[in-house]
Amino acid sequence: MTKAKGIWKALPAPLRGAATLLAVLALAALLTTVRHNASAYLTGVWDTGSQTLVYGRIHQMEQGQYAPGGFLGVYTDDWSDDTNRALFRDDTPTDAAAFHPYTHQSGLQGWLFGRVNRLLRHWLPDGLARETALYWLNSTLFYAAELLAALAVWEEFGPLAAAFGFASVLLAPWLQRGMKDLYWCLWTWLLPLLAALWLCRCTRVRGKTPRGCWPLVAAACMVRCMCGFEFITTFLILCEIPLCYAAAKAYFVRRDPHGALVWLGRTVGTGVSALGGVTAALALWFAQEWLSASAARRTPGRT
């Protein structure tokens, strides 16, 4: 074991990082398969309302139709009508004029999964098979994010804390159902936290915060907000958790007030970066709203 650790530490840092990421993705894929998280019928779903907006957008892109502003939406009068999911699975032709855009958020997840769906169509012509593949991808990414967070906990608090934290994911019925959800994209809830953990790691290794960490945090928050502006403050708090911990540890454990102030500055910088990401997401959303409103004015009879 000691020899293996020595060989591992002797490897270049980029190679260790790539190997770790590949191992995490492989384990995440295995867990998704073994736990049947990709199946809507074995583990169930907890959101048959909001998710239908994503299916409407995927089906629209699949038919080559154009949505002013690129919002999510449905082809039915009821926003929570699961008929849109059936339209996608059965490849049912639909009228472009019947699409009702949902303008409360940017809908990045609809565009993302729409692109993935069109790619999957080359190998999986059956709609149900593509639905399962999308669930599999979402669940695998969620597991991967949780495993990366567990590795950070392991490094700081030891293997027992990491095992306990990850076990709570494996044993939580709500997460086992919800990690596949294409609307809420649970894995994007963790993006700000993962970005902040990466910032902490880079800072501790190098003794300073690399410039690339701030745009990373901003991008993570921007992506999350484009998938939904709900609970913005929760994700800003997620960004700050590991940094506040580092500041508190420097002050109360190491008795290093100067070090605590340095970490406090990094915390403020991360918060500013996160707010920058939120601002960028809002700007994109306003642009989408303008495109949608302009198209509505040009279309007779459309409201």
| Lowest-confidence segment of 31-35, 42-46, 106-110, 245-249 by average pLDDT | 42-46
| Residue among 105, 88, 201, 85 nearest 153 (CA) | 201
Higher pLDDT, 278 or 236: 278
Kindly state the helix (H) or strand (E) to which residue 273 belongs, with its residue range: helix 257-298
| Residue among 110, 100, 105 nearest 77 (CA) | 100
Quick one: CA torsion of 200, 167, 3, 15, rounded to 10 degrees? -50
Quick one: CA torsion of 28, 31, 32, 34, rounded to 10 degrees? 160
- What are 100's strand-pairing partners? 74
What's the CA gap between 271 and 278, in Å, rounded?
A: 11
Tell me the pLDDT band of 303, cut-offs 50, 70 and 90: very low
Residue-level pLDDT at 300: 55
b/e per residue, 14-45, with b = 16+ CB within 10 A? eeeeeeeeeebeeebbebbeebebbebeebeb
Structure tokens at 256: 């290093």
Tell me the pLDDT band of 294, cut-offs 50, 70 and 90: confident
Q: Is 201 helix (H, G, I), strand (E, B) or coil?
A: helix
User: Is residue 131's pLDDT more than 90?
Assistant: yes
Radius of gyration of the chain (CA): 22
Could you give the percent of the chain with pLDDT greater than 90?
65
Which amino acid is located at 73 in the chain? Answer: G
